[in-house]
Structure 1
Amino acid sequence: RWVRPITRILCTFDGEVVPFEIEGIKSDCYTEGHRVMGRGPFKVRRFDDYEDVIKNKGRVILDREERKETILTEAKQLCAAQNLELVDDIGLLEEVAGLAEFPVVIIGDMDKSFLDLPPEVIKLSMRTHQKYFAVRDPSKGEGQLAPKFIVVANLDAADGGEKIAAGNSRVLSARLNDARFFWDNDRKTKLQDRFAKLDSIVFHEKLGSVGDKARRVMALAKELAPKVGADPAQAERAAELAKCDLVSDMVGEFAELEGVMGRYYATLQGEPQAIADAVRDHYKPKGPSDEVPRNPVSATVALADKLDTLACFWAMDEDSNSEVYIADALLEEDTDDQNVEVSENALELAALLRERALKDEPGLSQTPTGSKDPFALRRAALGVIRIVLEGGYRIPLGDLLDLHLVRVGLDLPAYYYVGDELVKSGKGRDVHEFKKMMQRLAMDQATTGSELGRPSIHHNLVAVDGTIDDLLAFFADRLKVHLREQGARHDLIDAVFALGEDDLVLIVKRVEALGEFLSTEDGKNLLAGYKRAANILAIEEKKDGKSHSGQGKAMAGDPAEVDALVSALGKAAPEATAALEKEDFAGAMRALSKLRGPVDAFFDKVTVNADDAAVRANRLNILSQIRDALNAVADFSKIEG
């Protein structure tokens, strides 16, 4: 019942056999070697003897790292002897090192006619099915493969491996003939002609098909393009083609080639290079070590694809609430448009919506929790962060996601209709007007009878503010992880995010400037002064039952330190504000650093809770000015220290 059953048990201690028995097999001081080249048995008493015997007599290399080094060294030597180079593949090296006890490296020939296939197809055919290493020919140019392959055998053949090489060459030819058939067949159909088939692939049971997703990404990419410096028409076209290779024969056989084959097919049908590259690169980055797309069109589609995925799964959590919201609005005849009459059909629909929504099982959230992230949403968010930061793109995530959350689950024709109507009315793409008009359109649709079996306008019209906050908080968490790996403090990110900032580039600039400032003595002492001022205000405002936010001033009889602090605040706060408006965060910190001395002196010499009520109120107002001046840069209450 076992593929590799136990045939012998070697167990010794201090040179003596430790006697026991398992399934009728008794322990002894003998071991077996390679089943062909060094079968054994061999007698051993200690590990030193065992290691020597098993390698030199048993022909088994125990050390995995030694096997890897043997494979790599011999493969490179065989390639170099023919002026060729090994195509590095760490994953495959790890795999074959575990498959061979005594690795023997052999170089074989491949039919040259297969070199007209994309190199990615050849390498993947070799790797996936046969565990071969590809070989490149540097004389033919970068990335050009040679008609050779490297195979790792598990025995030292008498003929030097000629028969092994020939046999593996025949098997490889059969595999590549299949790949050639896929390649030839796929090129008969243009990418855009495959788009309709995307509707047959389920993206998620609650989020429609891959075709639905592609249409949303097209709309989002077109809107996003100007912010990334891409041509909107090219971004929309690239998004249209981006998923089409998923229904090609080649990607059906080799899923790892998604995007890669799309780029080849797009190029062959005459698409501009920027569009073809975007089809391949919109999946990037696939991991922390993967490069981000640099071309503006590629970056636009990559961002749109990832943002749509994130918005979808966050919006999905609101789906049931959304249906209840619309149903209640219909049942209560709660509509902004008095011209809409709620028919019996609409009331029946509303009742069905409510019943269905309330029956949804709880706890079906697909957003990441703990170690679970089945849809790789953390990776998607980190991909957005890296693309935005490394490209320096200024994107207001809040407004962008607000509109897209409304789009998710809606009929796109309805979305475009509303957008066009808003533009005609001169209101542009105002978020609040947009949602209001979508609400009215949802009511119109409900009165005419909506099919319950398909996504429509009644979905996801619940106020998305909470969803936006949750999604932006998720981005904040991912940004913390990203920046923490670069040495930034997580509390500084919290402090900046608390301002409601959603421009990732600005957030990082603020965090960097804040970190540099707080590493200085002025910064540390000013933070301590802020904490003291904020603590006093919190206590006194609670006691007074009101906030202190007036304009402080120097009063008759005040110590000189009061006048000095009021004067310093009058200069530093406007300077900091002016610097912030110019996005000069370091300049804002320099302006605030001038408060360090006056704040320290104030707390050393001045009693805040004076007996005179007017004096006390004035000094509390001065403390509120300190708090407000620093909080304009970041929420200092969230900073540790």
Structure 2
Amino acid sequence: MPQLLLELFCEEIPARMQAKAQADLERAVMDKLSEAGLMAEGVKAFSGPRRLCVVAEGLPVKSADVREERKGPKVGAPEKAIAGFLRGAGLDSIEQAEIQEDKKKGQFYVAVINKPGVETTQIIANMVPEIVRSFHWPKSMRWGSREMRWVRPLQRILCTFDGEVVPFEIDGIASSNVTQGHRVMGAGPFKVRRFDDYSDILKNKGRVIYDRDERKDIIATEAKTLCDAQGLELVPDIGLLEEVAGLAEFPVVIMGDMDPKFLALPPEVITLSMRVHQKYFAVRDPKTGKLAPKFIVVANLEAEDGGKTIAAGNSKVLSARLSDAVFFYENDKAKKLEERFDSLGNIVFHEKLGTVKDKAERVAALAGELAPIVGAKKEDAIAAAKLAKCDLVAEMVFEFTELEGVMGRYYAMEEGQPQHIADTIRDHYKPKGPSDDVPTEPTAVAVALADKLDTLCSGFWTINELPTGSKDPYALRRSALGVIRLVLENNIRLKLEPCFSELAEIGFALSPVSKAHWTEMWKLSQDVEADGTTFIEGTGFKDEAQTLAQNLLSFFEDRLKVYLRDKGIRHDLLDAVFSLGGDDLVLIVKRVEALGSFLETEDGKNLVSGHKRATNILQKEEKKDGSAITGEIDKKLLSDAAELALHEALNVATANAEAALKKEDFEGAMSALSLLRGPVDTFFDDVIVNAEDNKVRENRLKLLARIRDVTSQVADFSKIEG
């Protein structure tokens, strides 16, 4: 069947935009064809530095004929109704309509509209300009006198169907069957008819690898081959591979030499300078794991000398870059980290929250309080927190902001700081994302927790700068997830709500905005404490802090749910446990895990079923007078063997579950509940709850209420599905 080939050829497309543009074009063509009633056997898009291409296989030569029946008014309806029907259906007279019979409504008019199929070339000629004009780029431009916007000046549009040009024009650019090859090695132009021609001519004559994935494979394979030949290995960098694949139409991989003297720099500096400034891949010795004085560069042409001149030129450029890095590094080492602390006061953290120095002082104080909880020494946590942000005013970090913390660690080691203090400076930013490592060394854990909790509790929550929808400019969701992972993966027993409340009080008092607001309130009220302290210095923020703590705890619950759902935990189990409240994340997760294991057993499944049955009966009864069924069970009214057995089982289960919960043995609590399965099943099989005797009936309802009460000690079973 015929094939559509479309290429949009322009000046260089930024590498970071190509993959998304490729996916967007593929989707747009698919959608437009489907809307027109054309179902392709396959649609595939490609992208490169100067072109977007899409091929659609197996298209019909025209869309199918469509027969549409439009129902009209009843026979004998008013003339106005009939006239409106005729206008809407495009009929000249009512005689052109059919009359159909409805057994209930009688006869009515039907307009049968036959729409002939449209030639595929016409559909394509209409849809391509629509796609191009509405195509979304993160940044686009107009050029010359054109009204159309594109990422870079659009030069050619190749569009063929079944081997023939589909004629149309977009803002003065006419469609054709012409493409261009590599700017230097095979510019062309070249005429093509179908995708096979296009592929063959571009690769062999045009010297262009149009397939993004193929370019990535070439770069990765050739780089590995070059490294293997010298007993070295490539330092993996997926992001850089994606980028350089978008920079070269015909990638040629070359190994260059780096002056070995630069290996004295921290390896992170070398790799970052290579990646950010030069788009080079770093190379290391697999035996030592250390960087080798080599690099991999991807050129966009085949050189006559095998790339020697290209390699030499890139080596010179890299040397200049790394010479600057050496200068920054030596300058930074001349000044101790602690001497930089006061300079943090020159960096604004947030206009409403003061400077980075203010934040560092708060973090140090909080880290000292958290240290005993996480097993760290208080003095170490305070010392590390005071140094943690100091590299932000170093020249190297000013040049490479990505090295915050990393350079601080190196400077700390140069000064002779203990290794765990130096490591804390690097690790206190972690985890930065869901796949980032979590610090486990106690001092690093204390400072990392303090840093994130301060950002949330003493910081942005107190000034009401909260995430909204998809917007989270201060990465507060990431900070909350960081706290959750630090707490859970280090098994830290921390009561969040009082911690939030205390930090919020500090934040209210220290925030310039909050402090000014509450000071004004104090002046108006002249509220002076008995000991002479002012509202600000006394307890004026407790109510506000408690409210903030509760709101922040709800935010953390949502983040924890997301975190656990990503780990495959059922949402209903989360709801069942979260409905009980609590702010100890470790206990919440242990309870959820124990509940999940219990519900996988037959005892668990049957107990949920019995609980739901009991709850349904109770809810119907409680709706009658609007009050909950509670109270002591009168054992004298228990006459049936099944209800006696259930009463005894409930007593035992309650005692055992309570004892297990006190020891935080949630598996034991679930085991205690599992003993209820048999007695509950037998009770519902043998006992009629709605007995004629009202006292007996009320007593049996209290027995059901006891089932609900016992199970609610471990989870809200009503939230569990199934």
TM-score range, shorter chain: 0.7 to 0.9
Deviates more, 1:574-583 or 1:53-62: 574-583
Q: Could you tell me which of 289, 296, 306 is aligned with 2:435? A: 289
- The 5 A counterparts of 1:227-626 are 227-313=373-459, 315-316=461-462, 365-411=464-510, 440=529, 444-445=533-534, 460-544=541-625, 546-556=627-637, 558-626=639-707
Contact 2:498/2:549, CA 8 A, preserved across alignment: no
Q: Could you tell me which of 216, 226, 233 is aligned with 1:68? A: 216
In 2 relative to 1, CA 56–527 (structure 1 residues): closer, same or farther, beyond 3 Å?
A: same
The alignment partner of 2:721 has SS state of coil
In 2 relative to 1, CA 411–5 (structure 1 residues): closer, same or farther, beyond 3 Å?
A: closer
Contact 1:133/1:150, CA 8 A, preserved across alignment: yes
Q: C-alpha deviations, 1:235-272, integer Å up to 9, x for none?
A: 11111111111111111110100110111111111211
Contact 1:137/1:146, CA 8 A, preserved across alignment: yes
The alignment partner of 2:447 has SS state of helix
Aligned match of 1:35: 183
Compute the displacement of 1:554 (Å).
2.2
Contact 2:427/2:448, CA 8 A, preserved across alignment: yes
Q: C-alpha deviations, 1:564-592, integer Å up to 9, x for none?
A: 11111111110111111122211111111
Aligned match of 1:83: 231
Q: Could you tell me which of 234, 249, 265 is aligned with 1:117? A: 265
2:165 maps to 1:12: no
Counterpart Cα distance in 2 of 1:608 and 1:442 = 64
Q: C-alpha deviations, 1:587-633, integer Å up to 9, x for none?
A: 11111111122222223333434454433443333222212211111
Contact 2:162/2:194, CA 8 A, preserved across alignment: yes
Compute the displacement of 1:543 (Å).
3.6
Counterpart Cα distance in 1 of 2:388 and 2:588 = 31
Q: 1:502 is matched by which residue type in structure 2? A: D
The alignment partner of 1:464 has SS state of helix
Aligned match of 2:197: 49
2:718 maps to 1:637: yes
- The 5 A counterparts of 1:130-145 are 130-139=278-287, 141-142=288-289, 144-145=290-291
Contact 2:497/2:553, CA 8 A, preserved across alignment: yes
Aligned match of 1:360: none
Aligned match of 1:154: 300
Compute the displacement of 1:515 (Å).
1.0
Q: C-alpha deviations, 1:144-182, integer Å up to 9, x for none?
A: 111111111111111111221111111111111111111
Compute the displacement of 1:465 (Å).
3.2
In 2 relative to 1, CA 546–47 (structure 1 residues): closer, same or farther, beyond 3 Å?
A: closer
Compute the displacement of 1:457 (Å).
7.0
In 2 relative to 1, CA 68–611 (structure 1 residues): closer, same or farther, beyond 3 Å?
A: same
The alignment partner of 2:589 has SS state of helix
In 2 relative to 1, CA 280–604 (structure 1 residues): closer, same or farther, beyond 3 Å?
A: same
Question: Root-mean-square deviation (CA), in Å?
Answer: 2.4
Compute the displacement of 1:301 (Å).
1.2
Contact 2:528/2:534, CA 8 A, preserved across alignment: no
Q: C-alpha deviations, 1:451-497, integer Å up to 9, x for none?
A: xxxxx878844343332222222222222222222221122222222
Contact 1:74/1:105, CA 8 A, preserved across alignment: yes
The alignment partner of 2:329 has SS state of helix
Figure out how many residues of one structure are paired with residues of the other and give that number: 559
Aligned match of 1:421: none
Q: Could you tell me which of 160, 175, 180 is aligned with 2:326? A: 180
In 2 relative to 1, CA 42–298 (structure 1 residues): closer, same or farther, beyond 3 Å?
A: same
Q: 1:489 is matched by which residue type in structure 2? A: R
2:225 maps to 1:126: no
Compute the displacement of 1:542 (Å).
4.7
Contact 1:496/1:634, CA 8 A, preserved across alignment: yes
Contact 1:442/1:458, CA 8 A, preserved across alignment: no
Contact 1:203/1:213, CA 8 A, preserved across alignment: yes
The alignment partner of 1:176 has SS state of helix
In 2 relative to 1, CA 30–572 (structure 1 residues): closer, same or farther, beyond 3 Å?
A: same
Greater helix content:
1
Contact 1:207/1:409, CA 8 A, preserved across alignment: no
Contact 1:439/1:461, CA 8 A, preserved across alignment: no
Aligned match of 2:6: none
Counterpart Cα distance in 1 of 2:718 and 2:670 = 16
Large movers: runs of 4+ above 6 Å: 456-459
Q: C-alpha deviations, 1:61-117, integer Å up to 9, x for none?
A: 011111111111111111222222111111011001000000111111111211111
Gaps of 5+ in 1: 318-364, 413-437, 451-455
In 2 relative to 1, CA 367–16 (structure 1 residues): closer, same or farther, beyond 3 Å?
A: same
Contact 2:638/2:644, CA 8 A, preserved across alignment: no
Counterpart Cα distance in 1 of 2:338 and 2:275 = 30
In 2 relative to 1, CA 184–439 (structure 1 residues): closer, same or farther, beyond 3 Å?
A: farther
Counterpart Cα distance in 1 of 2:617 and 2:552 = 34
Compute the displacement of 1:6 (Å).
3.8
Q: 2:533 is matched by which residue type in structure 1? A: D
Aligned match of 2:138: none
In the superposition, the TM-score normalised over structure 1's length comes to 0.82
The alignment partner of 1:55 has SS state of helix
Q: 1:226 is matched by which residue type in structure 2? A: P
- The 5 A counterparts of 1:213-228 are 213-228=359-374
Q: C-alpha deviations, 1:35-83, integer Å up to 9, x for none?
A: 1100112222111011000011000001111111111111111122222
Contact 1:411/1:457, CA 8 A, preserved across alignment: no
The alignment partner of 1:307 has SS state of helix
Contact 2:391/2:407, CA 8 A, preserved across alignment: yes
2:342 maps to 1:205: no
Q: 1:235 is matched by which residue type in structure 2? A: A
In the superposition, the TM-score normalised over structure 2's length comes to 0.73
In 2 relative to 1, CA 531–22 (structure 1 residues): closer, same or farther, beyond 3 Å?
A: closer
The alignment partner of 1:155 has SS state of coil
Q: 2:291 is matched by which residue type in structure 1? A: L
The alignment partner of 1:50 has SS state of helix
Gaps of 5+ in 2: 1-142, 145-150, 512-526
Deviates more, 1:47-56 or 1:608-617: 608-617
Counterpart Cα distance in 2 of 1:229 and 1:550 = 46
Compute the displacement of 1:10 (Å).
2.4
